[in-house]
Amino acid sequence: MRERIIAGNWKMHKTSAEAVSFIKGLTPCLADVSDAIFLAVPFTTVEAAAKAAEGTKVVVGAQNMCDAASGAFTGEVSAEMLKAAGAHFVIVGHSERRHLFGETDALVNRKVLRAVEEGLRPLLCVGETLLQREEGLAQETLEQQLCASLAQVTPDLLSRVILAYEPVWAIGTGRTATPDMAQQAHQHLRHVIEEHWGSGAAAKTSILYGGSVKSSNAAALMAESDIDGLLVGGASLEVDSFSQIIHYHSLVSGS
């Protein structure tokens, strides 16, 4: 069975004290949860959040990293630094990094390789813009991003990678891909993995959906066969709303 993951991405929100308070508030809500719970926190809160998460079901990670191991890169943070602070995973290739900061597939690929080499799990994001979707280029865009971002990644290394499909047109817009639209994209990504890395890798790779995830759509998204988890933005900033999404099974049963 593929690993099922509910991941929160706090983006540029929360101080260390706020992160500790959040984790303390969330922990009692996780007693009956079998899915992995990830939190991608700002650089400045990684260490405090990781310490607060010790002994809990919360896995702390970062939202970005440098592709270099070390050097004269003012303002950058290395994988080694993140690991030393307590991070277990790192988001790479998020649409905001690609579109606001100009990160290319080649740079994302270097970050993936660096993360794996340094023992961090990369959570690799791919997704199409609204224009690409309207022009019928969604699947082509996803395949191009995936293959370029995972260049030189062997099937064995791919076992360390988590994927996330996040349609750019649904990030922070309130618009969400329907469960069927999301399933089609996830199914296509799994087919691309099978073509390039084999059926074994395709069967084992977890693919999360990200894009205006909230409690009202979490259960329907998670019911799709190729959706293995959720990458949650704004709704992960409050314990109550994130907990509701984590307990998507209850939303299905209405309990």
Residues with a known catalytic role:
94, 166
Cβ neighbors of 7 (< 8 A, separation 6 or more) are 37, 38, 39, 40, 123, 164, 208, 229, 230, 231, 232, 236
β pairing state of 207-210 and 58-62: unpaired
Roughly how many angstroms between the first and final C-alpha of the chain, as a whole number?
26
Distance CA 223, CA 227 (A): 8
Distance CA 226, CA 203 (A): 10
- The torsion angles phi and psi of 58, rounded to 5 degrees, stand at -85, 130
Question: Helix crossing, 215-222 with 239-246: angle to 10°?
Answer: 20
Q: What is the DSSP letter of 89?
A: E
Task: Output the CA angle 200-83-79, nearest 5 degrees.
Answer: 75
> Rounded to an integer, what is the distance from CA 217 to the centroid of its chain?
17
Start-end of H helices in 28-178:
46-53, 79-85, 95-100, 105-118, 130-134, 138-149, 155-158
